[in-house]
Structures are given as C-alpha cells and as structure tokens.
Structure 1
Amino acid sequence: MRFGARIFKTGLAIVLALYAATWLGLEPAFFAGLTAGLTIQPSIYRTYQRILHQIQANVIGAVLAVIFGLAFGNEPFVIGVVVVIAIAIILRLGLDSSTIPVTLVTIIIIMSGSPDDGYLLFAASRFSLIMLGVFSAFLVNLFFLPPKYENKLYDELVTTTENTARWIRLTTRHDTNIQARREDLDESREKLTELDQLYLFYKEERNYFKKTKFAKARKIVLFREMLAATRKLIHVLESLDERENDYYHMPENMQRLILQQLDHLTNYHGRILARYSGKVTTQMTDWMTDEIDEGNESLTELFMDSYDYKELEREEWLNLLPLIAYIIEYNSQLEHIDRLMESYFTYHQDE
C-alpha cells in the first residue's frame, strides 16, 4: 500500500475537525473527526458534490431524529425505524448513497440524548458537530495538495505503454519469458481499470476560467483517445500471446514485416506521447508517415497473399487474422491521435 495524498488528507481533515470542535466548544469532538474521515473524497469536484448531498441527507436525518425522539423516545426500535425511513427518503430523492453512513451517525448520536426540555439544543449541537466534520473535509481537499490527475494520468499512460511495447518487441524477436510476460499482461489489464478511473477523475475536474475551458475540453478528448490507443496496444500483445505458436510458424518474411511494422507503430506511439509533454515539438515527417503506411499496406497484402498461395493453412490463417486486424486498428488509432494532437497544438500553443 502506498502512502498517498488522500491518506495524508484524511488524517489532516480529522485533525482540523477535532481542533475546530474543541475551539468552538462542541463536545464530544470525536464526532466531528469521525465525520471528516468518512467524507474525504478523491477529487475536489466529488467533494463538492458530496458536501451538497451530505447537507441534505444530514438535515433529513436530523429532522427525523428530533421528531421521532420527541414523539416516541429513543428506544432501539424507534432508532431502527428512523434509520429505515431516512435511507428510503435519501434513495427516493436520488442523493448519493455514500452519504448514508454519515447520516446514520447523525441519527444515532442525536437520538442518544434524552428527550427533555434541552433536547432541541442537544440535537443542534450534535448536528453542528457532524457538519463541522463535513466542512473540514471539504476545506482540506480544496486547499491542501489538490489532486493533479492530468499529470498522474499521463505518467501512468506512458509507463503502461512503454512496458507493453517492450514486451511486444521481445515477443516478436522470440526473446521472452512466457510466464513473466503473462504476469505482466495481467497487471496491464488491471492497470487499464486504474487508468479508466483516473480519466474519470480528470474529466470531472472543473475549470472555472473561460480562457482554459476549451483547452481542457480538447485535452479530455486527447486523453480518451490516448487511453484507447494504449488499450489497443495491449490487445496486440494479448493476441501475440494467444497466437505465439502460430506466429512462430509463419513465413520468415511475414514475421519480419510484422516485427518492423510493430516497431514503427510503437515508436510512433511513443513520439505522440512525448509530443504532448513537449519533448517533441513537430509532427511526424512525411517519410515517417509514408514508412508506416507502406508497412501497413505491405502487411495486409502479404497476409492476404499467404492464403491465396497456400503459404499458410486455412486454420493458421484464420488464427492469425485477429492479430493482423489488431495491428491495423492500432495503426488507425495512432493516426487519429496524431491529427488530434496537431489540432490541439495549433489552437492552444500556450498550453
């Protein structure tokens, strides 16, 4: 487990809530700390959404707790009924279900008091503690170590792409440990899930300045397509892994052509990613583009001819067809990203 910013911010939010409760004279302060720990979110936008829903859910829980506490007392059965009603209302209103745990805490700590003349003041004090914890988490997430999902997403994309490209080069050169490759391939599949989550967090981040609004919209599209390209590259490696034996029995000229084309494409992919970070400042030259296009055309023609001239058995040919299709799809995806990248830098040079 890595010690990340969210772990640090959770601890900081709890500390802030405890100190604030003590300073305001609200007791017991640990209720505020508990709420702060439950409310912290991975992104500023999600924290903002969560606080809006949490306020509404807590108001519902507090009102129900006061009404039922005054009317029926604080017997366990009554508390259970209030909890059920509160959850039903929250779900019915379409509020975030993640607000339910804190709402339950609100109900229980309010109904733990004795329904007497000071019950409303007691309930207000407990409700204030809960909301203090919620706001403490929001402030910490807003001002302390705000997440930079663009940087993290880009770094993870580069790492995953380079690692997959390395395994493809080794596999096409008959120089790989199968067990190690498959273990790494499983990790890459898991990494795709993490990348999807990072992309969602990045997409959710809001821009409050009109100047950068359109640049951010183009970046979202770019990252979506870069993620799609990395996914297609992993599909190529998966296909090579599944059809490794058939690949090794292909005619040598076809193996060599696949090797060369995949080398061109992975280099092309790396260049696109490097251009986004500013390490490369120009688009692909014409001869580079022609080399990739010619390789793609030659590979397709040679593969089709291998069936016509019986260089491959029908079953072998059909088994290798998905591999060729993945390589062609990967090529098309890279060309698409390259065009998007050129458009982005044309209109957003400052970025």
Structure 2
Amino acid sequence: MEFNIGPRMVKTGLAVALTLLITGMIGMELQIVAAMAAVLAMQPSIMRSFKYIKEVVISNGVGLVFALLGILLVGNNPISVGAVVIISIAINIRLGLNKTVSLTVLTIVNMMLASDNDTVNFVYIIERLSLVGIGVFSAFIVNVLVYPPDHQKILYGMIKKASEKTNFLLRVIPNKTMSVPQMKNDDREIEKIINNARDYYEIISDERNSLFIRKRTDFLRNIVIYRHMITVLRKKHTLIQQLEKNLDNIEVISSGKSHLVKKLVSEINTYSENVLLMYEDRLILDSDLQKETKNAMRITINNLIEALQGSDFEKWTYVFPIANSIIELFYELDKLEKFVRIKEIRDNKQ
C-alpha cells in the first residue's frame, strides 16, 4: 500500500503543534478546541486561508449572536443547543459560508456549554473564542511560511499528465492497438485528471489578488494559458469519446471517410503535442510552416465535409460528431498557440 506524506499534511501537523505551544504558554484550557480549529482552517492556498479567516469572523459572529440568544431564551439543554446549531448552519449556508460551518458549530457548542444555569459567562465565552482564533491564525501563519505551494508547477503537472494520456489514446484508437477495457480505464482516468485540473485551476485563480506573488504579470499571463490548456484537454477528451463511439461505424459505411478522419486526428494530435513543447521552450515552431500545416488541416476538414455532401442521415450521425469535435479542438488549439507565442515573445524581450 502506497504511503505518501504531502506538504499539506505536514503543514496541518505544524499548525496543530504551533497552536498547542501558544495555548500552553498562555495557560489556556481545552487546547483541543484550538487544535481542531487549526485542522479545519488549513487551506490549499494562501488566499483561501485569508478568505477563510474573513468567513470565520462573519460566521462566528452569527454563531455568537444565536448562541447568546439561545442561552438567554431557551437555556443550554441538549435540545436548545441542537436547535441553535441547526438555525446557525442554515443561516451560514444562506450567506454562502459553507466552508466555515464546522468551525461555527464548534464555537456555538463551546459557548452554550459555557453558560451556567441559563446565565452567560462572558469570560468563558471570550476564552473559547480566543481558542478558535489562535487555531485559525496558526494555520494561516504556517500556510504562509512553510512549504508555500508552487501552484503553477502543480497545475501544469496535471495538465501535462492529462495531455500525454489523451495524445496516447488519440494515437491508438484509430489504429485499434489497445483493448477496449484498458481504453475505458484510461478514459476514466483522463476524465478524473481533467476534473482535478479544473478544480485546481480555481485555487490558482484565487491567488490573482495575493500579495505574495512576485512576478504578477507572468503569473496572470500563465493562468490565462492554463485555462485554455484545460479547455483543449476537454475538447480532446470529447474527441476521444466520439472516436470510441463512432469510428467503427464510419469504417463500415465508408473507408474513404474513415481515412480522412484518421488523417485529421493524427495531424491535430501532432499539433497539440507541438504547442505544449513550444510552451516548455523545448521546440521552436516556425510560424510560416505552422500556417501551412494548419491550412492543410483546414483543407482536409473541407474535404471531409464535401465527402459528406449528399450522404444519407445515418452517415452524418456517425461522421458529424467526430468532425465537429475536431473542428472545435482545432479552434481551441489555434487560440492556445497564439497565447503561447505572445508569452514566448515577451519572455525573449525580458
């Protein structure tokens, strides 16, 4: 069984340790509350940690109000505590503070249990709020200072892995050199990686307003490129699915159309690989030669469309989804190449 300890695990442990050290030095009781707050507050990026602190302030304010009202109006029996928790969760969700719900519940329970005989113990409540605050700020400090994540490297690693797998499938599917079960497994893995990349892009996109970015212009330029790369991956995955679904039927109907489709898939796959290599500065693509290649691809696409003229509906239902996927992928790759060339020109000027 594989056993990996990632940076986030290490940072969570350090945040807990820092929290316990601070609460121990101050001499506060119930240190477990602060430790739990530190665990809940550890976020995958610095900006998300900062946003989390703002959400904690708002959500705990809501929790504090309802906890005090609950103590004064219905007491601190189990039923009243549960009712206040339900109402606070509903309001936090309504305000869009879903991420801090667990921490708010922890705060409410601690505050309500702090009361004695339906009276408010303000000293106890302040201590409990301080425990939560120490845990949250400890997590933020550790997140900023320890293993600050290289989001661009992580995201591009996901994109590169998904791209290699899609390129491989686009090579083997037209030639039928892979078993169907293995193909299905690879297809599911590609979909999972693309979804992970899209989710991680949201994290890196949040960092746009971060004060900790050194080369902000380069960063902003790169996240635009990454967004287009993910779009290209989605289009390639759609093409893979259409090839799996329709290519056999096209070969039965017309070997000529099948040949044109395979030629187009091979050309666009090479184009995709070259754009990524150009982004990595491992390949210099001559713009004139690239224009000739793209014109040749356009001619092949037009030939495929002309070959379909006058065809019956059945042929269109098999060929058109693939042709449409190729055209959409070609369009997105063309846009991505333009952005990569702009980056290349600006890098050369620096």
Deviation at 1:97, TM superposition (A): 2.1
CA distance in 1 between counterparts of 2:292 and 2:277 reads 20
Partner of 1:219: 222
CA distance in 2 between counterparts of 1:131 and 1:252 reads 69
- 1:1-351 superposed matches below 5 A: 3-66=5-68, 68-69=70-71, 73-87=75-89, 89-91=91-93, 94=95, 96-115=97-116, 119-206=121-208, 207-208=210-211, 212-249=215-252, 251-280=254-283, 282-305=284-307, 307-308=309-310, 314-349=313-348
Q: Which runs of 4+ in 1 moved over 6 A?
A: none
List gaps (5 residues or longer) in structure 1. Answer: none
Contact 1:254 1:303 in 2 (8 A): no
Normalized against structure 1, the TM-score is what? 0.88
The DSSP-based 3-state class of the residue aligned with 1:205 is helix
Deviation at 1:256, TM superposition (A): 3.8
Contact 1:283 1:342 in 2 (8 A): no
The letter for the 1-side match of 2:102 is: P
Cα separation, partners in 2 of 1:114 and 1:330, compared to 1, 3 Å = closer
Contact 1:240 1:247 in 2 (8 A): no
Cα separation, partners in 2 of 1:328 and 1:97, compared to 1, 3 Å = closer
CA distance in 2 between counterparts of 1:77 and 1:135 reads 32
Deviation at 1:87, TM superposition (A): 3.6
Deviation at 1:319, TM superposition (A): 1.1
Structure 1, 138-147 or 210-219: larger mean CA deviation = 210-219
CA distance in 2 between counterparts of 1:159 and 1:291 reads 26
* Matched residue count: 346
Identity of aligned residues (%): 25
The letter for the 1-side match of 2:175 is: R
CA distance in 1 between counterparts of 2:64 and 2:140 reads 21
CA distance in 1 between counterparts of 2:326 and 2:120 reads 73
Cα separation, partners in 2 of 1:283 and 1:47, compared to 1, 3 Å = same
List gaps (5 residues or longer) in structure 2. Answer: none
CA distance in 1 between counterparts of 2:96 and 2:259 reads 58
The DSSP-based 3-state class of the residue aligned with 1:237 is helix
Normalized against structure 2, the TM-score is what? 0.88
Cα separation, partners in 2 of 1:301 and 1:76, compared to 1, 3 Å = same
CA distance in 2 between counterparts of 1:80 and 1:298 reads 67
